[in-house]
Structure 1
Amino acid sequence: MKPEEVVELRVHGVSGTPPEHVLGDPFPTPVAGDDVARFLRAGRPVATLPGERPARERVVEAFHWGRFTSGGASRALWLLMAPFAVLNLARYALLGAGRFAEAVLRLLGLVLTCMFVTTVGYVSLELVVRQCAAAAACRAEHTWLGSFADWPFGALLLLGTAPPALVVAVLWWFGRQTFLYEPRGTHHRWETHTGSLGDYAFWHTSPRTPVLRDAHVAASCVVLGVLHAGALRTALPDGALSWSVIGLAVPLLAWVVGCVVTSPDRRAANTRPLKWAAAVYLLLTAGLAAAFLWRLPTDPAPPLAGFEAVTNVLAALAMLLLVALLAACARMRRSPRGVELMAVDARFRPMWHGYGAAVVAALATTLAVGFSGGLAYRVVEWLGDPAPTGRPGLGLSTSYLFGAGLWGVLAIGFALLLGPVVAAMVGQVSSALVLATGSSLACAAVVLRWASAPGWAVWGGLAGATVLYAVGVWSGVHHAVGEAVRAGVCEDYPGPPTRPGVTKVALSRRLASAKFRYHWVLGALAVLGGVLVVASGGIALARLAHPGWRAAPPPGLADWLSSRPAQELGGLGSLAVSGFVVLLAVLGLRSWQSGKMRTAVGVVWDLVAFWPRAAHPICPPPYGGRATIELTSRAVRLAGHHGVGAVVLSGHSQGSVVCFAALALLRREAERPDPADGRRYIGQAEAAEALRRVGLVTYGSQLQWAYSRLFPHFLGHAELCSLHRELEGRWWNVHRLTDPLGGPVEAWEATEDERVCAGDKLWGVRCGYDVRLRDPEFLDPDPDMVASPLRGHGDYYRDPVFHEVVARVAEAVVERREAEVLKALSP
């Protein structure tokens, strides 16, 4: 390879774009990598025209990392554990170093894991085994349970223990999966407590993660063991043996909590004995419960003690931890780091006024509580009629009734708020107000129905809501394209504003502008769900504190839970959760057979699996570390070993974040001196030489409007500006106004608009180092040119102006190197 050649390394986004499409070559040549992280090269170089210089050819390679997230069905089934992955994101939304906040998040993750395992145990042991398999009437109604008619209750108990034990084993196995190789070199300790994108150890499996994984597995085993120990009180009413066995769990739980709070290094704390001690405890309690309850009279079997208490404890803990996290976020906003991040320009200010971690954690908890309540409620509806504990029907814990009802409220709230919020997001304020009034009338009609109001009042409210919705939708459609947006389109495409296509382009631009307000929807769901979780946890805490309410809910609460509104909300919530879970399961199974479905699953995975496991160890294997390390290694290899004159990292959408992380890692490696033994990931001289030969082009990027605001400590305004200063004009960003996901970066001073031309009719508008492409490339038909479609978020590679931008970045790299050589040779 000649030193003057330019190599463009293209990194795709979350859709896992095939390398054949990225390169425009149906038969690219693999040049590096393996089966899941591949580098492929196009057969033909791209000719570019960098200003007045002779034409310079550019070799194009594609880094295809989509196989990290678009593999087999087992990977897609990770979607069922979405609450854990969402909670892990909350750790990176913190405003800075907050040991208390991080400890709270890890404890909340532990509670969610125990909640998931407890729900499976509750459904298996309490609902299926105790309330149905041991009852003749239920066996007669559900014939598939008839084969268990002659089984002793202890044998049924052992059978019911198998599903939750299998879940624990699956959690342990999934938590061990990783895409990373063994770390190279000796540097494996995080440079800072919070970690940084430029820290090689940050991108590798942290030695703290196995400790957290062991703690979660141990806690799950201990909680299941406590449920079995509580069941001993059914056979031994004095409770001496039961409390003695529960007492054995106290030191194990204290050990677990200590590991989660302090998060020690695997080399400093060996937690394998904890994991195996907890497993032995589960086997001991399950064996004791089966032995003492072997001949327990059935039809019906007496209630198993402990299930109500454990579910209430978990609900109360989730509530308390959410409140503690909210307080920790408020404290961090007042810290020097928080004040610094909140004082930046509004375009880069952290989302949700700096409470991003609390909002994301509330979303995760809402998902977890809803999944638990929906699963239990759906099983009860399948087996019989759900009722509060102590009332006629199949008894269901109050926490699960509230969990199902929570999602019922969310389903109604989402349906009523969707229209007004969407209208407000696209700037239709008047339509949003009309739709909000209609939603209020619809909500009032639902309340009047539950209050047994006259029928005319209910139907009157629904009729008024329908009329207002019709008016709001008509107004939104009629004023879908504002005059300012239409004028902007005509400025890009001079001519009459009534031409065909102007309205379509203007509407696409207006809809795409909603990306700056996507977080409104998540914030509304988080606030509504968080309030309901706190309310449910408050009731659970009150029941734990009141001795008479522990076994069954108080009469007033039981009456309300048996009322029509509560039953309808629970049924609706159960239906919503069941539909959501079934959708995830279908996606997982279909992804095994369909490439398009794998891509859809991969998009969700890409968004939640980029960051290392720090708050929850049982979430999708993070691909960010492997992708960042491989991309950095390839850039160093091209610049150092192949003598490439300019290496342009070209990142689309999520790929722009991978490129940013790779450059952050390269910058840090160029600063760190080589250790005495010479063993390290990249040598300092290699990294420094590669950094001099590297440029960056991002397009369809979320670095400014999403990542810098959601993860301000890692990708905030200061970090973006720092990379811009380091590259000295070798970072350009490309975007479109019709792109619903990508936008400008704006990490540089704005300048007067100027054109970046690639032909008479092909040009974009440059402001600073942001280049806005016209979409479509031209509006009026041209008999000598192929029609240009609306591309939105995709096909940036097909725009000639994009190639002009890459050529300019490559030329800036070459010119800088030539200037350095001349400076070194001058006396």
Structure 2
Amino acid sequence: MADSPAQNVASGEPRAGGPRVLELRVHGIKNTAPHDLIGCDLEQIEPVGDRDSLSGFWTQKDPPADSPTRVEAYSWGNLARTSPSSSFLKGVGRVFGQAFWFLVVPFALANAAYWARRLPAPGSGSRTLAAGAGAGTVRLFALLLSLVFTTTFCALAFGLFAVECFPATGIGQPTAMCKQLPEALDFMTGWSRGQRLALSALVPMAAILAVFVTARLATVRNLAPARVRWNEETGTTEGASQASRGGPFLASPGLWTRPHVSTVTGRAHIAACLALICILLLSDSIGSFWPRNCQTALRMLSGDCIEQLGTAMGQDVLAAPLLGLAIVLLLASMVTVAFFYPEVRAPWEDEVGNKWSNVLWIGGVGLVLATAGQLILVPTPDVVPSLPFAGTWVASLLLLTALVVLGVSGLFMRSGPAFRFATAGGSVSSAVLIVWAAGMVDDWVLAIPAIITVGFIIYYFGLQAGDKAKLEGWHGRGPGIFMFAAILTSHFLSSALVLGTRKFLQWPMDEELPARPEELWRGAGGSKVDLDELLEVPAIYGVTGGLLLFGIALALVGFVPACAWLILKRGLLPMQPPTQTGPGTRPVQPPSYFSDIDVDPLLPDEGPGPERRNLTYRRRRLSALTQRGEAAFGLLTVLIWLAAVLAIAACAFWNGAGATGYRALLLGPLRAIQGDFAGWGIVLAATLILAFMVLNAATSKEERPLAILWDVMCFLPNAAHPFGAPSYSNRVVPELARRIYDWLQAPAPAQAQANAGPNHTVLVSAHSLGAVVAVAAIFHLKACQPELDFKRIRLLTYGVQLRPYFGRFFPELFGPDVLGNCPTRGPGLISIDPWKKAREKETALPGSASLTLLDLLRDGQATSPVWRNIWRRTDYLGFPAYSHCERGNDLDVYAVETEPQRSQFAVATHGNYTATTTYAKVRGEMLADWPG
């Protein structure tokens, strides 16, 4: 490859006579192509230095000779967008790979909850990066999500397949089977229940292995190459310890290059999942010896049934000790995950942890093998009709209950003592519901969880929210918000998977159609059988799915009158600017999303004209509408919370459905929710998801589904769940930081040797999420090279979410104390301008960290444009980076709202900032009068 006259492309180093300023352009969530970032044709770019298909730097082959800067584009989108499984899964297999990315969305949300906690200042205690309060809670929550994942596949393999699809037809006779199953499985009609369950255990184990392998492959791909690392992994970087103590969290050495969830955590998750599989299988084995009248919650805790349970355990002598070992293994895995690591990241070498985790997962594998052998060798008694597989019914209910308890505690995790009270209150409520479901107390006891829930909701809506909490995302309830989002997605996906499979197995016969047993059952070889049974699944899937869709239906019904009220009473429509009254120019209005239209300097002096002004005004309104998402989702979380509590109560009530009185009156609505809403609505949603996955796999081939969602969720280091999609920032942040360092440390050109001070400088130009990456890279550079002259780095951002989103959702990482900007409140839900109240309450507060981003870049220089941010109101994802107010704000610059390089007028939104006249003007100002 030939080098251009102004730059050394092969190595990326400056050449004598070439530009001394490097302009690094970093794309955002839109994954802009390198040639579009640079502003040239595809054939005019070439790679810089070492690169691969996932990320790399690009530059123009023949830049203009008089160019004051060397422009490079950093492309990292493939790290976030592509699936590592696509290299070995082709065709149909790729669809399954896409499905697993959907299934691990809750894991990524749990990771976001981990970083939304209140993080202690680095070096403030005995550890460099202490995990802080709530770390164990979120990690335990993540483990429960893994158990929900396992229970879902157990419900498919054990409940639907091994038991429900092979009902007994008579003592000593071959069992029937679902007609939808292939004839290749006819041999299983002669197997015992235990033998089928033992074989079916391969399904949840394969699902766990698939997720583990997928996450592991992505982890390897997302590790930073050796060429971009310093010595921070071993802690030997000079000045590293001083850089971390008292400084921002992002300036901690090794934050992006050291593991955050280790193999110890991953093995503990695997051990817990294997232990749960054994518990479910062994419980069923013991339960087969239990009398049928003890198989309901109202009877199982009675004295007679407890006595009979002892007799059943005596008849199955191997199951009881194996069950005890499985419970111990599950508890040991939970303790390991929750309390093993007191820091946010794991050590590089952990011999004790590796040995302990090996004991856990090897013990899990041994227990599975022993359980399978016990099921195969010890035949269970034939019972007609067959007993349901009750383990998944109980496990799914208990797991949802535990998740809700931890989610409620997460809502108050940043509130100090309220965190402990919320955990205690949620635990008491759950215990009361379980005891009530078992028939041990009367219905009056339900007043206890009702009162506690109402108290939580009142507390949630701000009785304790102080001024500081109002400056944080969802008033400081971010961890719980993310956790309830994980609960919603995990149970929706589980319900869709389980109910969709049942719908397939029961098709075309269903509860709504006349009973036609011949359409559902058959014997081996296609022989006819006389059965009138239907397939049953754990009630939690139908109830949660039904309540979800029931809530969506209610929301849609209420949406129309709510919009009408907003339109008529709040003035959100008609979407026209205020009419001008009287002669003269339009009056100047206070700055808001709906003030006068900014004039493009390229347009005639008389302004943009009424038609263009109206189009711009409408686009501002649409952008303002999308920016109400935080407030809307906070309200949605309360609905998710209530729906989960109602689902728990409904499933507990279902066990006592035979009672008389008011309970009988509730059976009809409950059956409608569990059957009608869940039966068809969830299946429809699952069908749409499957169609989306097939379409995505057929067109983009390698991109993950909902790619933009992955870009945002997977930025933070994966510290809570080992099976979530790993953070691409583990590679992007060190790679970008190293490119900046290499340019700054390159030998000075010969003609500049006489200059006093530094010669090479870097202007980091970042769009949208790329600005978050750039900020992290600058702080990472400070952690690794604390003596570097940071006056030689300047930052130009545009279309960013640093202040209202990242800074409020993750205050200790990107808050005003770290960036040095003004704090802001969240958007309003029903006000015309969603940021009106935030702007009115806006005040500049000094940063509490010893080093802010502005301080770092200024490095003692009070007056210099070290950071500029461009934004526009028509950008639904672009916001001011310092303040909404103009007074004292020399950082934010307002961009023209006309789409550049278009033959006809178009309103600009989130893209094409670099092609605007505003960008050229601000860029020129930042490059001029650069010290050194």
CA distance in 2, matches of 1:490, 1:747: 18
How far did residue 56 of structure 1 move? 5.5
CA distance in 1, matches of 2:504, 2:320: 34
1:117 aligned to which of 150, 171, 182:
150
| 2:802 aligned partner | 703
Q: Secondary structure at the match of 1:329?
A: coil
Q: Cα deviations across residues 632-678 of structure 1 (Å, max 9, x unaligned)?
A: 0000011112546221111111101000111111223343xxxxxxx
1:400 aligned to which of 538, 541, 546:
541
Q: Does 1:281 align with 2:371?
A: no
537 and 99 in structure 1: CA distance in 2 versus 1, 3 angstrom threshold: farther
Q: Secondary structure at the match of 1:500?
A: helix
Gaps of 5+ in 1: 48-54, 435-474, 544-548, 672-683, 753-766, 779-783, 818-827
Q: Does 1:37 align with 2:34?
A: no
Q: Does 1:250 align with 2:327?
A: yes
Q: Cα deviations across residues 91-129 of structure 1 (Å, max 9, x unaligned)?
A: 111233474412111111111110111111112111122
Q: Cα deviations across residues 368-427 of structure 1 (Å, max 9, x unaligned)?
A: 12222332233333334579xxx9743332322322223223322442355577x5xxxx
| 1:239 aligned partner | 313
Q: Which amino acid aligns with 2:30?
A: S
CA distance in 2, matches of 1:70, 1:612: 16
Q: Secondary structure at the match of 1:204?
A: coil
Q: Which amino acid aligns with 2:363?
A: A
CA distance in 2, matches of 1:143, 1:599: 31
1:88 aligned to which of 81, 96, 111:
111
| 2:519 aligned partner | none
Gaps of 5+ in 2: 1-14, 87-93, 121-130, 170-174, 236-240, 291-311, 421-461, 513-531, 580-588, 749-758, 821-851, 859-864
| 1:488 aligned partner | 596
Q: Does 1:307 align with 2:307?
A: no
1:174 aligned to which of 190, 195, 214:
214
| 1:133 aligned partner | 166
496 and 235 in structure 1: CA distance in 2 versus 1, 3 angstrom threshold: closer
Q: Which amino acid aligns with 1:219?
A: A
How far did residue 159 of structure 1 move? 3.2
Q: Does 1:187 align with 2:228?
A: no
| 2:426 aligned partner | none
299 and 69 in structure 1: CA distance in 2 versus 1, 3 angstrom threshold: farther
Note if contact 1:651-1:697 (Cα within 8 Å) is conserved in structure 2.
yes
Q: Which amino acid aligns with 1:152?
A: W
CA distance in 1, matches of 2:148, 2:469: 41
How far did residue 564 of structure 1 move? 4.8
Q: Which amino acid aligns with 1:656?
A: A
Note if contact 2:288-2:387 (Cα within 8 Å) is conserved in structure 1.
no
Q: Which amino acid aligns with 1:64?
A: S
CA distance in 2, matches of 1:650, 1:37: 17
Q: Does 1:799 align with 2:919?
A: no
Farther off after superposition, 229-238 or 735-744: 229-238
Q: Secondary structure at the match of 1:312?
A: helix
2:857 aligned to which of 717, 727, 738:
727
358 and 150 in structure 1: CA distance in 2 versus 1, 3 angstrom threshold: closer
How far did residue 171 of structure 1 move? 2.5
| 2:720 aligned partner | 615
Note if contact 2:232-2:784 (Cα within 8 Å) is conserved in structure 1.
no
CA distance in 2, matches of 1:175, 1:192: 33
| 2:744 aligned partner | 639
1:739 aligned to which of 851, 858, 875:
875
Farther off after superposition, 486-495 or 75-84: 486-495
| 2:269 aligned partner | 216
Q: Does 1:21 align with 2:36?
A: yes
TM-score relative to the length of structure 1: 0.78
How far did residue 706 of structure 1 move? 1.1
9 and 570 in structure 1: CA distance in 2 versus 1, 3 angstrom threshold: farther
| 1:478 aligned partner | 574
486 and 194 in structure 1: CA distance in 2 versus 1, 3 angstrom threshold: closer
378 and 599 in structure 1: CA distance in 2 versus 1, 3 angstrom threshold: closer
Q: Which amino acid aligns with 2:163?
A: R
Note if contact 2:27-2:75 (Cα within 8 Å) is conserved in structure 1.
yes
| 1:375 aligned partner | 497
CA distance in 2, matches of 1:624, 1:340: 36
Note if contact 2:19-2:70 (Cα within 8 Å) is conserved in structure 1.
no
CA distance in 2, matches of 1:528, 1:536: 12
Q: Secondary structure at the match of 2:796?
A: strand
Q: Which amino acid aligns with 1:800?
A: T
Compute the RMSD of aligned alpha carbons: 3.7
230 and 550 in structure 1: CA distance in 2 versus 1, 3 angstrom threshold: farther
CA distance in 1, matches of 2:685, 2:466: 36
How far did residue 810 of structure 1 move? 2.4
Note if contact 1:133-1:139 (Cα within 8 Å) is conserved in structure 2.
yes
CA distance in 1, matches of 2:533, 2:247: 52
Note if contact 1:351-1:709 (Cα within 8 Å) is conserved in structure 2.
yes
| 1:657 aligned partner | 772
How far did residue 300 of structure 1 move? 4.1
| 1:363 aligned partner | 485
417 and 700 in structure 1: CA distance in 2 versus 1, 3 angstrom threshold: farther
How far did residue 521 of structure 1 move? 2.8
| 1:507 aligned partner | 618
482 and 398 in structure 1: CA distance in 2 versus 1, 3 angstrom threshold: farther
Quick one: percent identity of the two aligned structures? 23
717 and 198 in structure 1: CA distance in 2 versus 1, 3 angstrom threshold: same
160 and 567 in structure 1: CA distance in 2 versus 1, 3 angstrom threshold: farther
How far did residue 303 of structure 1 move? 2.8
How far did residue 149 of structure 1 move? 6.0
327 and 402 in structure 1: CA distance in 2 versus 1, 3 angstrom threshold: same
262 and 140 in structure 1: CA distance in 2 versus 1, 3 angstrom threshold: closer
CA distance in 1, matches of 2:336, 2:538: 30
TM-score relative to the length of structure 2: 0.70
Q: Does 1:602 align with 2:712?
A: no
Q: Secondary structure at the match of 2:566?
A: helix
Q: Which amino acid aligns with 1:351?
A: G
Farther off after superposition, 597-606 or 519-528: 597-606
Aligned residues: 714
